[in-house]
Amino acid sequence: MRYVSTRGQAPILSFGEAMLTGLARDGGLYVPETIPTLGKEEIAALAGLSYEEAAFRIMRPFVGDAFSDDEFRSAIAKAYAGFGHAARAPLVQLAPNHFLLELFHGPTLAFKDFAMQLIGQLFQIALQRDGRRVTIVGATSGDTGSAAIEAFRGLENVDVFILFPHGRVSEVQRRQMTTPSEANVHALALDGTFDDCQARLKDMFNHFEFRDAVGLAGVNSINWARVLAQVVYYFTSAVSLGAPHREVSFTVPTGNFGDIFAGYIAKRMGLPIDKLVIATNQNDILHRCMTTGRYEMGGVKPSISPSMDIEISSNFERALFDAYGRDGGAVAQLMDEMKTTGGFAISQGAMEWLRDTFASGRVSEEETLETIADERTVSGELLCPHSAVGVKVAQDHLGAVPMITLATAHPAKFPDAVEAATGIRPGLPPRMADLFDRAERVTRVPNDLSALEALVHERRAR
């Protein structure tokens, strides 16, 4: 299995190399050269398997010879052993033909754990085998950061630096990142937005001298392995509703476009998906783009679903690559235009492809609160604000085909919004009950590449 860059100019890599490389050296994102497919019988055979066995069968064709079958099986087993639900990703019914896929039973209570726990295991195998050490730098709007810290804390051959936007994550999210005491964990509160954090991270990758000196690695959804691990729950949930003999649709609360892109990959692999619906909060650049054909930045407004307060939606580049017939030059041009003018127009052909592939919707702050309140009354589910954005958009797209909405985080990560909507303050699981008593360790950092690079150089272990 070979991986190519969305900008067409970087070396072609294996799965193992792409996983440890992060951003391609031409600034693009790695994608598989071809997408392996599963036949109807292979999909049907997933029914009744453990999540771990299904994960092995679904991901194996993408991995090539980077890991042996035994290594890969053992990494998957360790990754999901700590989840708080036997099904790992249970499906609950909200209404006739509407289901909720609960992705928040991992150690940090968000869907990021599905991929990050696995990547943590795979990095350890690969780094020990090669005798390498890496410096992971991650950008987060709240959930990726805590999941990455949880997966890599205390590991000998990894330093992990997490950039989060100062004052723009929930208190639970912040404390999950600032309270681990291991010396290899560095929480950095940046003066700026998530987009600034992600832009500085990409600047570091594009600064080859720095990148090579520190052995920079990425665990954002820049990293293909992140997307791949998220493909699995599309299959397991669809199969539990009758796929491949029955179609299903998905609505996905969307920010950086990694999760919904995983759904698109599942469809390309042969899963019969009818609709894939992008659900945005008031930071609706993706919904506006799907409606108008222009990707146009307008400034991020802080919302009650802060993890989706994103305007530069990194993985949309992967969708554009396919929308433009895998023309890396065309994608590179759009990304340059974005950098210089803050937006770009999408060609008619590419827009047709995007509209054939994805639907979209946008939810206001008031609608988010109303949905949390209504759902508590109607189905009894307590939704986090991101999941509520998904549920509201899904309700507007319900039809004859069963709809699955992804519940991306636990309500206890966003207690203020949930309490404002329902009067109920959701509590953290017992293992996290002392989160508010633990000491915090965080460094406030400017939105400045040289200052950040200097700090990483100084703090990382050698």
Ligand X SMILES: N[C@@H](CCOP(=O)(O)O)C(=O)O
Instruction: Please identify which residue in 13, 24, 63, 110 interacts with ligand PLP, judged by CB under 6 A.
Output: 110
Contact between 314 and ligand X (CB under 6 A)?
yes
Contact between 170 and ligand X (CB under 6 A)?
no
275 in active site: no
Are 113 and 106 in contact by the 8 Å Cβ rule? The answer is yes
User: Using CB under 6 A, which residues numbered 154 to 213 contact ligand PLP?
Assistant: none
> 316-323 vs 328-341: helix axis angle to the nearest 10?
130
Contact between 107 and ligand X (CB under 6 A)?
no
Task: Say which entry of ligand X, ligand PLP, none residue 220 contacts (CB below 5 to 8 A, set by partner kind).
Answer: ligand X
Contact between 221 and ligand X (CB under 6 A)?
yes
As given in the structure block, the two tokens for residue 304 are 């009650």
Contact between 307 and ligand X (CB under 6 A)?
yes
Contact between 230 and ligand X (CB under 6 A)?
no
Rounded least distance, CB 257 to ligand PLP, Å: 5
- The smaller minimum CB distance to ligand X, of residues 58 and 109, is found at 109
Rounded least distance, CB 142 to ligand X, Å: 5
Task: Say which entry of ligand PLP, ligand X, none residue 409 contacts (CB below 5 to 8 A, set by partner kind).
Answer: ligand PLP
Instruction: Please identify which residue in 102, 113, 143, 159 interacts with ligand X, judged by CB under 6 A.
Output: 143
Angle at CA of residue 148, ends 278 and 234, nearest 5°: 35
Cβ burial, residue 151 (10 Å; 0-12/13-18/19+): buried
Residue that is written with structure tokens 């998220």 in the block:
230
Stretch of 244-252, 254-262, 296-304, 423-431 contacting ligand X, by CB under 6 A: 254-262
Task: Say which entry of ligand PLP, ligand X, none residue 237 contacts (CB below 5 to 8 A, set by partner kind).
Answer: none
Rounded least distance, CB 409 to ligand PLP, Å: 4
Contact between 307 and ligand PLP (CB under 6 A)?
yes
Question: Which of 40, 78, 112, 413 is the catalytic position?
Answer: 112
- The smaller minimum CB distance to ligand X, of residues 194 and 210, is found at 194
Instruction: Please identify which residue in 16, 192, 255, 390 interacts with ligand X, judged by CB under 6 A.
Output: 255
Contact between 408 and ligand PLP (CB under 6 A)?
yes
Task: Say which entry of ligand PLP, ligand X, none residue 180 contacts (CB below 5 to 8 A, set by partner kind).
Answer: none
Residues carrying an active site annotation? 112
Residues that bind ligand X (CB under 6 A): 140-145, 220-221, 255-256, 258, 307, 314
Interacting residues with ligand PLP (CB under 6 A): 110, 143, 221, 253-259, 307-308, 386, 408-409
